[in-house]
């Protein structure tokens, strides 16, 4: 089955948008620890957050009717959103709280049903989406790239090796890399 796309727009107050920017900066500084955790949620193909501080100006709309600051969440994943929301609620609730805690109407990250309703209420149909590798989740891609790295190193080391050395080293390589193959 093709992956499922999701777009969620969440209004946030100014003070929360400043906090969110700070957390992103912190995540960048901590060298991708949070991304690694999220990448481990195996059914995700990608996930992407942006902050709209100011929507494109519309002169026909007055300032108090204009769209508020909004957290934009874009993602593709396998299957239904049940596993996604379950993962938010049961595996990474603290990270979700850090992103959405101050968002308008957010019910808190600890119960599935209120979060599922919040997402449903703030979702927007995706008219067209594309994935170069629709079968590949973040886990699968990360594993394949790591395997490639180790394989290239193995291949380089084995240039010119005799049969016995190659066989021994191949067995060691395969044993060490078996969780990637």
Partner 1 sequence: MTALEVDDIQGNVLRGYGFPFARYVLARVRDGRADAARGWLASQADPVTTEAGWSTKPLHARNVAVSYAGLEAVGVPGWLASTFPDEFRAGMAARAERLGDAGAGAPERWDDGLRRGDIHVLVSIGGATEAAVAAEAERVEAEMADGGLEPGVVQAAAQPSDSREHFGFTDGFGQPAIAGVARHGVPGQGVPIRRRPWHRFRADVVPSRADRRLGWRALRPGEFVLGYADEDGGPPPAPAPPLHRNGTFMVWRKLRQDVAGFRRFVADAAVETGLDPSLVGAKVVGRWQDGSPLVLRPDYGDARLGNDRQRVNDFAYAGDSAGLRCPRGAHIRRANPRDALRAGGGKLTARHRILRRGMPYGPPLPHGAEDDGVDRGLVFVSFQASIERQFEIVQARWLNDGDAFGLARTADPLAGAVGEHGARLRLGGRPPRYATAMHAFVVPRGGEYLFVPGIAGLRAFATL
Partner 2 sequence: MAAATDAFVVLARVRAGEADAARAAIAERWERPPRSPFAAAGGTHLARLQVLKPPGRGSRECVLLAADVDAPLAAWLERMRAVAATALDAVLGHCAFYPGASDPAAFRRWVAANRLPVGFSVIGSPDATLADVGAALALRDELGAFAERTQRMSAAELHTTWREWRDA
Cα–Cα distance list, 114 to 79, 107, 137 (Å): 20, 6, 27
Cβ atoms 5, 129 nearer than 8 A: yes
Q: Is residue 4 part of the contact set for partner 1 (CB under 8 A)?
A: no
Residue 86 site contact among partner 1, partner 2, none (CB < 5 to 8 Å, cut-off depends on kind) = partner 1
What phi and psi values does residue 94 have, to the nearest 5 degrees?
-65, -40
Q: Quick check: 18 binds partner 2 (CB under 8 A)?
A: no
**163 is an interface residue for partner 1 by CB under 8 A:** no
Interaction with partner 1 in 20-59: which residues (CB under 8 A)? Answer: 37, 40-43
Judged by CB under 8 A, which stretch of 6-14, 19-27, 129-137, 156-164 contacts partner 1? 129-137
Residues 64-83 that bind partner 2 (CB under 8 A): 65-68, 70, 72, 74, 76
**Which segment (42-50, 83-91, 111-119) binds partner 2 by CB under 8 A?**
42-50
79 binds, among partner 1, partner 2, none (CB under 5 to 8 A by kind): partner 1
Of 44, 51, 46, nearest to 10 by C-alpha is 51
Among 50, 113, 117, 176, binds partner 2 (CB under 8 A): 50
In whole angstroms, give the CA distance from residue 16 to residue 69.
10
* 91 in contact with partner 1 (CB under 8 A): yes
Those residues with Cβ within 8 angstroms of residue 55's Cβ, 6 or more apart along the chain or in another chain: 66, 67, 70
| C-alpha distances in Å from residue 32, one per residue of 39, 53, 110 | 10, 24, 24
The size of the interface with partner 1 (CB under 8 A), counted in residues, is 32
The smaller minimum CB distance to partner 2, of residues 111 and 148, is found at 148
* Residue 82 binds partner 1 (CB under 8 A): yes
Neighbours of 138 (CB within 10 A): 21
Which DSSP letter does residue 76 get?
A: E
Query: Which is nearer to partner 1, 16 or 173 (by Cβ)?
Result: 173
Span from 20-28, 48-56, 94-102, 107-115 in contact with partner 1 (CB under 8 A): 107-115
Q: Are strands 4-11 and 44-52 parallel, antiparallel or unpaired?
A: unpaired
Q: Which of 24, 104, 96 is nearest to 68 (CA)?
A: 104
């Amino acid at each position: 089955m093709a992956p499922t796309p999701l777009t969620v727009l969440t209004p946030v107050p100014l003070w929360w948008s400043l906090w969110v920017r700070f957390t992103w900066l912190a995540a960048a500084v901590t060298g991708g620890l949070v991304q690694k955790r999220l990448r481990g949620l195996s059914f995700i193909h990608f996930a992407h957050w942006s902050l709209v501080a100011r929507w494109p100006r519309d002169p026909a709309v007055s300032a108090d009717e204009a769209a508020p600051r909004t957290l934009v969440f874009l993602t593709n994943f396998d299957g239904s959103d049940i596993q996604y929301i379950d993962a938010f609620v049961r595996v990474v609730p603290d990270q979700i709280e850090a992103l959405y805690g101050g968002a308008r109407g957010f019910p808190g990250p600890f119960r599935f049903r209120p979060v599922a309703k919040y997402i449903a209420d703030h979702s927007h149909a995706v008219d067209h989406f594309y994935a170069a590798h629709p079968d590949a989740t973040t886990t699968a891609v990360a594993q394949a790239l790591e395997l490639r790295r180790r394989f290239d190193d193995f291949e380089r080391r084995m240039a010119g090796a005799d049969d016995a050395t190659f066989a021994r080293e191949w067995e060691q390589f395969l044993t060490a890399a078996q969780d990637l193959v």
